[in-house]
Amino acid sequence: MRILLWHVHGSWTTAFVQGEHEYVVPVLPGRPADGRGRARTWSWPRTVHELGPERIRRAFDAGDVDVVVLQRPHEAALLHEWTGRRAGRDVPAVYLEHDAPGGPAAATRHPLADTAAGASGRVPVVHVTAFNALMWDTGPARTAVIEHGVPDPGHRYTGERERVAAVVNEPVRRWRAAGTDVLLRVARDVPAEVYGMGTHLLAEHLEPLGPTALASAGRLEDLPQPELHDRLAGARAYLHPYRWTSLGLALLEAMALGLPVLALPVTAAYAAVPPGAGVLSADPDELVTVARRWLADPAEAATYGTAAREHVLTHYPLDRFLDRWTVLLTQEVSHEDRHDL
């Protein structure tokens, strides 16, 4: 099968393209958001091909694309603009929803729900967690849940650094949702290191909080995935401060490395971090207390980390993730003639 998808979410796409298929990712001059092409900081196989809009149109004309995975509302319009095809009518398609709804969450209508493709069931909405599926109002659209799959990075945890690590992209812009205030509260009393896009902007917020947080201000970096994994493995514990998010792949990857977890008991965290793999608490002071205990007791931290790794490999295996996507996409392709066009 040959699958067209946009490069939107690097970690998720890295897992998805490990399958048995051929993958086409749009590329545009300058590599803007709608044409990033192949990843530059993740390792992707040779089965992922970069094509510009004109070559994508020719691939569709030749019948060389079987199905489209949409991830943002405007991608259906891009597909039509570039190829003249309508998602769910002229080509089988699914819509992958990465996020929990924003705004008034329980009442938020999914953008696909009221489109012709969604209302007719031609394009199913695929959620990455059961929590997201519960919270989105998808109306008459068909839905499915395919949870994340994580390539096994190996049990690399050493925990030699007496610090907690966090991965938060754009922590200043996404302040409340990302739990940046929780991160700052922990960093005030526990040495921390923060990775991700835009983390350098945290420095001015850390410096007024005292010497521990001031030291953390020098540990703000955005690293390629392989280097990030190496760095995370040396931290004593992983902090997942998010209040409102889909299930972060960085959390699952840290657990797969063998890190114990500190997190808020919200969204899908309860399923991702069971007792024994980490500590969930709505009280940042309790997270600080546990972090301090682990800094003083590396053996306890390592025991939690081993359980975290075992849980991820059991509940988020890459092969099951790929198999479920293959089944879903094969069904959509085989049923392309079932609709009255």
Q: Which of these, 164, 156, 179, lies nearest to 294 by C-alpha position? A: 164
Residue-level pLDDT at 305: 98
Architecture of the structural domain at 161-315: 3-Layer(aba) Sandwich (3.40)
Q: Would you say 37 and 27 are in contact if contact means Cβ atoms under 8 Å apart? A: yes
Token pair, residue 216, equals 């953390």
Whether the full predicted model's pTM is greater than 0.85, yes or no, is no
**What residue type is assigned to position 17 of the chain?**
V
Q: Would you say 14 and 40 are in contact if contact means Cβ atoms under 8 Å apart? A: no
Q: Which CATH number fits domain 2-149+318-334: 3.40.50.2000, 3.30.450.70, 3.40.50.300, 3.40.50.1580?
A: 3.40.50.2000
Residue-level pLDDT at 78: 97
| Rounded Cα gap, residues 264 and 62, in angstroms | 50
Per-residue pLDDT tens digits of the chain, which is 341 residues long: 999 999 999 889 999 999 999 999 999 999 999 999 999 888 899 999 999 999 999 999 999 999 999 999 999 999 999 999 999 999 999 999 998 888 787 789 999 998 888 888 899 999 999 999 999 999 999 999 999 999 999 999 999 999 999 999 999 999 999 999 999 999 999 999 999 999 999 999 988 888 887 778 778 988 988 899 999 999 999 999 999 988 989 999 999 999 999 999 999 999 999 999 999 999 999 999 999 999 999 999 999 999 999 999 999 999 999 999 999 999 998 875 444 32
DSSP track, 224-247: -HHHHHHHHHTEEEEEE--SS-S-
**Please, what's the b/e burial string for 38-59 (b: 16 or more CB within 10 A of its CB; e: otherwise)?**
bbeebebeeebbbbebeebbeb
Backbone angles phi, psi at 60, to 5 degrees: -65, -40
Run of H or E residues at 22? strand 22-26
Q: Would you say 81 and 56 are in contact if contact means Cβ atoms under 8 Å apart? A: no
DSSP track, 8-75: --HHHHHHHTTSSSEEEEEB-TT--TT-B-S-SSS---TTEEEE-HHHHHHHHHTT---EEEE-STTH
Q: In angstroms, how far is CA 285 from the centroid of its own chain?
A: 27
Q: How far apart are the first and last CA of the chain?
A: 23
Question: Do the domains spanning 2-149+318-334 and 161-315 agree at the CATH topology level?
Answer: yes
Hey, where are the domains in the chain?
Answer: 2-149+318-334, 161-315
Q: Is 222 helix (H, G, I), strand (E, B) or coil?
A: coil
Classify residue 219 by its DSSP letter. Answer: -
- What lies within 8 Å, CB to CB, of 241 at 6+ separation is 166, 168, 178, 179, 180, 182, 183, 186, 263, 264
Backbone angles phi, psi at 69, to 5 degrees: -105, 110
Run of H or E residues at 262? strand 261-263
Residue-level pLDDT at 336: 58
